[in-house]
Structure formats: structure tokens, C-alpha cells
Amino acid sequence: MSDMRQTRVSTRSLIQVSSRRWFLQSGLSALGGFTLPQLLQLQAASGVTTSKSADKKSVILFWLSGGPSHLDMWDPKPEAPSEIRGPYRTIATKIPGVQFCEHLPLQASIADKLSVIRSVDCSASNHTPITMQSGNPLARRTDNGRDGDGYPSMGSVAAKFRGANDPDLPPFVGLADSWAADVWESGHMGSDFAPVKGAELNGKFAMPPGIDARRLQDRNDVRSQLDHFSRRISNNITLNRADRYTQQAYDLVMSG
């Protein structure tokens, strides 16, 4: 039974490595005293439900932090005075009357498929606060990592108000190389809507050393026998619900 012992990790690790499959494959380990099935049960009880709509939409956001001025890319302002407009010429795009910088010919050819927003403004004069990520018009560079000033990121907003497409998948996954600033986080919405930091899950979807599918099956059989014995003692509705979430977690791992 020593292999079935539960390993406790910090609450911070839940945000950083919150993969249900990884938790179960690590031996039904506990996070802050909770097993994966208990976490699934708590998630359902908390009212964080997934969308029931058949229209399951997903969005991949490529966030290019920094870069040249809009004057040198999509908003060249060719009619502006020389001290305002950029040094490059403009070229026509696929949209009549819309011009891009001469160095963006490929983007100009698909301009009808792009949505260029030319009215963005903010109080910060550098890239770091990422105003459009947190939606905070007063975002500015800080020395304490609170650039977003507690405002939730777009992904966290979607996680709260739309939820996941599938109960086995997180609603918000972030692959940013750096999490130094809080503009990617859930802000005042709380950790329930923080992103699963996918870059830190590399290698976590494989069975740990010494554990294969047969051994995991044996563990599940033991759990089923113990649950059956418990139900014979008390046919408790809460226990039955917990068992359903345990089976859900098990099926997730065994599905490969």
C-alpha cells in the first residue's frame, strides 16, 4: 500500500501544474489534502459548469508582446507630416482605401481577413503593462509584478463566463514564456479562473516510473472494492457522487 500514499503539494502548485491527468498518474496524489476525484467534485459543487452548447468554440491567442510602432506596420498615416509619419512607404491592401507598411506585403494580401484596431490608446508608454490583455486602461509598469493592477486577463474572463468546452479540459491554458507580470492572471476573480500554465506541464502526461496501465487498473479495482464496501455500510448520495468523479478521472487517464 506504500505506493498508494498521497503526496501533498502547495496550493501554488495547483495553479502551475493543474493537470487532472497528471495528478491521477502521479498516484491519485492529493493537493492540499484533496485527491483528484475530490477536486472534480468540488469543481462541480462550486457551480463552475461547462458550456452545454453544441457550438464549442476555441480561441488561440498569439500575443506578440512588443514590436515596432503601428506607424511602421498597419497604421502608416501617409498624409501626416513627416515628423509624425514613419520612414517607410505604404502599399495598397486587399481592402480599398486601407494601406499597410511596404514591408508587410503578405499581410496586405489578406487584409480582408484581419481586424486591425487603430484606436488603441493607454496611459503607459511602454509594452510591459500589456493594457489590452488585462483590459485596464490605467495599466503601467511596476516593480512588484502588479502591472495589471488586479484586472483579470481575457482568458480568465472567458474561463468564468463561458467555461470549458469539455469537462476533461481546462478552460484557459497559457503558454507564455514569462509570468513575471500579473496581466496574464485571473486578478480579482481568484485562482479558480487562473490559467493552466501549459509550458510547465511538459512531460507530465506520461506514466511515472514504475506505473503502467495494468498497475493503474489494479489500483482502480482496489478503490472500487473499498467503495463497494463503504456503500454497503451507508448508501450515501454524496459518496455516490464522489465515486462518479473518481471514475471520470480514471477514464481520463486510461483513454490515453
Query: Tens digit of pLDDT per residue, the chain (256 long)?
Result: 434 344 344 444 443 444 444 444 444 444 444 555 555 666 566 554 444 545 677 888 777 666 777 888 888 888 888 888 888 999 999 999 999 999 999 999 999 998 888 776 666 666 555 566 666 666 565 665 555 566 788 888 888 888 888 777 788 887 766 655 555 777 778 888 888 776 666 655 566 677 777 887 888 888 887 777 666 655 555 555 556 666 666 666 555 5
Query: Domain range for residue 28?
Result: 1-47+212-256
Cβ-defined contacts of 64-72 (< 8 Å, 24+) = 65/127, 65/130, 66/127, 67/127, 70/118, 72/101, 72/103
Identify each DSSP E strand in the chain by its residue range.
Answer: 90-92, 99-101, 173-174, 196-197
121 lies in some domain: no
pTM above 0.85, yes or no: no
Q: How far does Cα 139 stand from its chain's mean position?
A: 21
Asked if the structure places residue 200 within a domain, the reply is no
The predicted pLDDT at position 15 comes to 39
What pLDDT shows up at residue 237?
A: 54
Residue 235 covered by a domain? yes
Residue 252 DSSP code: H
Number of domains in the chain: 1
User: Does residue 32 form part of some domain?
Assistant: yes
In a domain, 243, yes or no: yes
Q: What is the pLDDT of residue 109?
A: 95
- Note whether residue 248 is domain-resident: yes
Task: Determine the pLDDT at residue 197.
Answer: 76
Please give the pLDDT value at position 96. 92
Give the CB-side neighbour count of residue 113, counting CA atoms within 13 A: 5
Instruction: Indicate whether 31 belongs to any domain.
Output: yes
| Any domain includes 9 | yes
Quote the cell numbers at residue 130.
Answer: 500589456
**Tell me, what's the pLDDT at 17?**
42
Distance CA 238, CA 228 (A): 14
**Residue listed under C-alpha cell 470549458:** 164
Per-residue model confidence (pLDDT) at position 2: 38
CA dihedral sign, ordered 130, 172, 51, 241: negative
